[in-house]
Structure 1
Amino acid sequence: MQHPERRLLISVDMERYSRRSNLQQYEAQRYFRELLHEAAGAVGLDRVAWTTQQAGDGELAVVPREVSESRVIGRFVPELNRRLRNHNSSRLPAARIRLRVAVHQGLVHLDGANGFPGNAVIFVCRLCEAEPIKRALATFPEAGVALVVSTEIFRDVVTEYPEEMRPERFVRIEVAHPDKDFREYAWLCVVDEDLTAVVVPGVSPTLGEDAAQAAEKLVDTTEEKAANSATEHGEIRTGDIRVKGQNAIGSGATAIGSLGRDANFGTSRGNPQ
């Protein structure tokens, strides 16, 4: 097993794919790939270098390390939206291609036997499957792309390097899959539409908060909950060191560092034996 790599992950799904006839699915797949490649090429991205896992109605892409996150979100996504709108303008609703796009980053194994193992992969796919993003795309029949990004991506990329995106058009949503024990916050927009001006079930405004501050608050809250949970379970974290045991102090306590080895602490001064 190779070491995992931290990468940008993109999950893409076609709207209403299963409702198409066999021939319509065949055509949709062909145009789907063409439009993705053309949009990437138009903004200087080489899609051939992307590592992808294909599905009939979409794909999961692991983007190369050297690719700029701001270019993917701030230029590739808007370009894809423009091309989809142009493609759909001359087609009946049943033949149109409209996409849900989710973006996240995290550790992923690229040498999996049947895909890309990693919680970040599961996370980005859960975002793409969220009901609020489906409802938001359905609210705007002429739209090409509904984009949902993790809180970290929104804070670090969208608000800092917006390129052609408008951070104020993003709204905060809760992504919940109770049957899969998944509940997280994310940020959603329908490209070139004002989602903040309509009421969509499951989509909440930022309640007047500055978007970047709201994203920062969510990240801080998540980290605080993780720290509290560790303390409740008799565990103390200091940087890369996690100490656990009887009250996390004294004889029998265990320290676990980044190398994954346990160091037992003695009774005299707490020095590793």
Structure 2
Amino acid sequence: MVADAGNPTRHVVLMVDIERYSGRNNVLQHRAQQALTEVMRAAWEELGIVLPGTLRQDNGDSQFAVLPPETSERRVLRIAPLLDRLLREHNQGLSAEARVRVRVGVHQGLVHLDSANGFAGSAVVTVCRLVDSPQLKSMLRRFPRAEVALVVSDLIYQDVVRQYQDLPQDQFLPITASLPDKGFAAPAWVFVPGQDAAASTVPDAFPADPQERTDLNRVDRPQEVGTPQPPAAGQVFQHITSHGPAAFGNGNTVTTYGSADDTRPGRSPR
């Protein structure tokens, strides 16, 4: 017999996820997990937030937290610059592949704390989708010296960021976080500690690892398309529309426009 859903309670929910975790070897994954655990423990202590184990889920490269009802939402947002400092200290002297950088998401809503296999509720799903969105992932690539990229839901932005200015409101970039394969799209706001994300004009730079390529042209600005160079032999076709069967031969090249796909699918909420 299926148990009754019971009564949910309203909470701030927070998700932290390590950048490029799956591309690390076993040793570096082990070290990254240890670093995340230690840094998050230090962050909660410095913020003065007591987080019982029953309100936290650790999953290798991530930590999901349901904050106690009495937790100050203003205080929670201070975790972004705090994590930036803690990770900057941790990453000193490390190679690029060993460096730990994180994406952080904050939302608020009703949560079922007594679900059979974790936490349940649309707020849980939403914060996980925000953190997994290619729009947020692109920010750590745009700012290679940053350690943290924070995304907050529009609700958190309007109620906390805009009203209290604990973080500089004019440095938040509005985005539409989207994961089409999950049927998810939501307005959100991105903040990168120590950087002015809202004024970013840094050109997109794709990393060498094709598994880490992501759709970077979705952060409310047009995609910049370079002019293709003709090959040594043959012809270049552009802006072609064909109806019915079509074939190109004799060494010709067809050039089409598209965007890089983030090959790491959005993570299901834990």
TM-score, reference length from structure 2: 0.72
Q: Distance in 2 between matches of 1:177 and 1:139?
A: 20
Q: Which runs of 5+ in 2 are unaligned?
A: 205-216, 222-270
Mapped contact 1:50–1:64 kept (Cα < 8 A): no
Give the match's secondary structure for 1:143: coil
1:48 CA drift (Å): 3.9
- Residue 20 (1) aligns with residue 24 (2): yes
1:230-256: CA deviations, max 9, x gaps?
xxxxxxxxxxxxxxxxxxxxxxxxxxx
1:140-164: CA deviations, max 9, x gaps?
112111000000100001111232x
Mapped contact 2:111–2:124 kept (Cα < 8 A): yes
Residue of structure 2 equivalent to 1:172: 174
Could you list the structure 1 runs, at least 4 aligned residues long, displaced by more than 3 angstroms after superposition.
47-50
Residue of structure 2 equivalent to 1:203: 219
1:53 CA drift (Å): 1.6
Give the match's secondary structure for 2:56: strand
Q: Distance in 2 between matches of 1:76 and 1:148?
A: 12
- Answer 1 or 2: higher relative contact order, Cα 8 Å, separation at least 6: 2
Structure with the higher helix share, 1 or 2 = 1
Give the match's secondary structure for 1:137: helix
Residue of structure 1 equivalent to 2:61: 57
Mapped contact 2:135–2:178 kept (Cα < 8 A): no
- Residue 79 (1) aligns with residue 82 (2): yes
Q: Distance in 2 between matches of 1:125 and 1:7?
A: 15
Give the match's secondary structure for 2:170: helix
1:204 CA drift (Å): 3.0
1:147-183: CA deviations, max 9, x gaps?
00000100001111232x1110001101111222111
Q: Which amino acid aligns with 1:26?
A: H
Give the match's secondary structure for 1:45: coil
Residue of structure 1 equivalent to 2:241: none
1:77 CA drift (Å): 2.1
Among 100, 103, 125, the alignment partner of 2:103 is 100
Among 105, 113, 116, the alignment partner of 1:113 is 116
- Residue 150 (1) aligns with residue 166 (2): no
1:36 CA drift (Å): 0.8
1:173-252 matched pairs, under 5 angstroms:
173-199=175-201, 201-204=217-220
Mapped contact 1:85–1:142 kept (Cα < 8 A): no
TM-score, reference length from structure 1: 0.71
**Once structures 1 and 2 are overlaid, which stretch shifts more, 94-103 or 174-183?**
174-183
1:49 CA drift (Å): 6.0
Mapped contact 1:49–1:64 kept (Cα < 8 A): no
Mapped contact 2:7–2:112 kept (Cα < 8 A): yes
Mapped contact 2:15–2:104 kept (Cα < 8 A): yes
Q: Distance in 1 between matches of 2:199 and 2:185?
A: 25
Residue of structure 2 equivalent to 1:237: none
Mapped contact 1:143–1:191 kept (Cα < 8 A): yes
1:64 CA drift (Å): 0.4
1:50 CA drift (Å): 6.7
Q: Which runs of 5+ in 1 are unaligned?
A: 206-273
1:44-69: CA deviations, max 9, x gaps?
22234671122111021100011100
